[in-house]
Amino acid sequence: MALHIVASRPDPALVRLPWSTPLEEWSDDYVVPLPRGLSRHIVRIVRFGERTYAIKETQEDIAFREYRLLRDLQRLNLPAVIPQGVVTGRVDATGEELSSALLTQHLAFSLPYRALFAHGLSAESLPSLVDALVVLLVRLHLVDFYWGDVSLSNVLFRRSAGGFAAYLVDAETGELRPTLSRQMREYDVQVGCENVFAELLDLQAGGAIGQHVQGHEIVQLIQKRYDELWGELTAEQEFDAAEMWRIQERIERLNDLGFDVDELDIVTDFDGDRIRIQPKVVELGHHRRELQALTGLDVEDAQARRLLNDLAAFIAHYDLGREDRGLAANRWLTQIFEPIMAMVPPEARGKLEPAEIFHEILVHRWYLSERAGAEVGIFDTARDYIDTVLTTKPDELVAADEPPDA
């Protein structure tokens, strides 16, 4: 049987990997010892060249189905791991057939939920993890994606301005449908509640979180947050024709949540006395797109909002309100953000993403200023944060600096 590789981004190094060996027997010459979540399949993280990949052994038809589904989610600009390819036709040295393999790009600065708790995350952060999972689920449902296996184990988390952003990592049970019924959405939420409850019990059994954590309260939070967000993004709203300002109010409320409204359905009654509106197309990333347009920085949406707030403070402090906002943003980038990032020593740059470091420096500045009784400068704050906080954190850029010898 001939080895067959289908790849969206062909990498010649793929051919050199030991495909004739079962994945669980791959040596440290290929495998990077990185945290990975629970999986029903054998999964390994490998690095070759300048890229790091997750490889999962599975059946050929399942591998191709998940590969194509992840590509569809990528085209829809949804938070999911990027598919790299599928390898079929694997046989071992005796000619015995081996499982096919699905390759996805490893998401930099991402960790499975178990690794987050191993890195010192406390139970107080569980609501933030729930929020991230719910936002991901709602975004998938908005494009009529049925997940089928909602859980903490099937996502990767990236830090985002003190909270988290969730990325789909396992789409094996997923399905993009022409329309997604209310019953299917409710079933996804129900499955998520059951799975997260079991995962919390498992964390408690392993001592990662205390016995005081009430799993049923976290589960109730999932349902509550989902209902609130889904309603805000999709519910109809009716008002008098004299209250047209409510249209802009609804848009601004969605912007505050981080969503842009790309299409709004507006219906009036026969006499034009009553107006009914309903968002039809919404997309997360309002702040992220604004910051990227101003500075070129591509960060998580909550991080972007934090940085935009600091940019606004910079503009106010230096009285740049009459200056072009793009020029003012460039001054902030070159005079504040980039010099602070340059202060981070090379050995500490794998601790957190630059935008998350900057967010933590802003939080640290508040604490230092509170303690000093006066505002502490941003560069003095950065030096203190780097020396006393950042250097004590574990690395979260979980890719080796040098590729292993192949």
Q: What is the pLDDT of residue 227?
A: 95
Identify the structural domains of the chain with CATH numbers, from first to last: 4-106 (3.30.200), 111-234 (1.10.510), 237-284 (no CATH), 287-392 (no CATH)
Q: According to the model, what pLDDT value does residue 32 have?
A: 78
**Residue 289: Cβ-neighbour burial (10 angstroms; 0-12, 13-18, 19+):** middle
Q: Where on the phi/psi map is residue 100: left (φ > 0), alpha (ψ -120 to 50), or beta?
A: beta
Instruction: Look at 22-26, 156-160, 197-201, 258-262 and tell me which has the smallest mean pLDDT.
Output: 258-262
Query: Looking at the DSSP assignment, which residues form a beta bridge with residue 284?
Result: 259
Cα 202-204-208 angle, rounded to 5 deg: 100
Q: Is the model's pLDDT at 398 over the cut of 70? A: no
What tens digit of pLDDT does each residue of 219-249 get? Answer: 899 999 999 999 999 999 898 888 888 888 9
Predicted local distance difference test score (pLDDT) of residue 240: 87
**pLDDT tens digits along 251-280:** 888 888 888 888 888 888 767 678 888 888
- Residue 174, pLDDT score: 94
The residue with greater pLDDT, 216 or 340, is: 340
Give pLDDT, residue 7: 82
Instruction: Give tens-digit pLDDT for 132-173.
Output: 999 999 999 999 999 999 999 999 999 998 889 999 999 999
Q: Tell me: pLDDT of 186 over 70.
A: yes
Which of the residue ranges 11-25, 125-139, 281-295 would you say has the lowest mean pLDDT? 11-25
Helix (H, G, I), strand (E, B) or coil at 119: coil
Q: Give me the pLDDT at residue 39, please.
A: 62
**pLDDT tens across 33-78, in order?**
665 555 677 888 888 767 788 899 999 999 999 999 999 999 998 9
- Give the torsion sign (CA, 372, 376, 380, 384): positive
Query: What is the pLDDT, as a whole number, of residue 404?
Result: 37
Average pLDDT, the chain: 88
**Which residues have CB under 8 Å from 36's CB, separation 6+?**
43, 44, 45, 54, 112
Local confidence band at 1 (pLDDT 50, 70, 90 cut-offs)? low
Q: Residue 40 in contact with residue 29, Cβ under 8 Å?
A: no
Confidence at residue 358, expressed as pLDDT on a 0 to 100 scale? 96
Predicted pLDDT of residue 289: 92
Give me the pLDDT at residue 311, please: 94
Per-residue pLDDT band at 209 (split at 50, 70, 90): confident
Reported as a pLDDT band with limits 50, 70 and 90, residue 366 is: very high
Amino acid at 373: G
In the structure encoding, which two tokens stand for residue 30, read together?
Answer: 């290929």
Average pLDDT, integer, range 180-204: 95
pLDDT band at residue 406 under the 50/70/90 scheme: very low
pLDDT of residue 386: 96
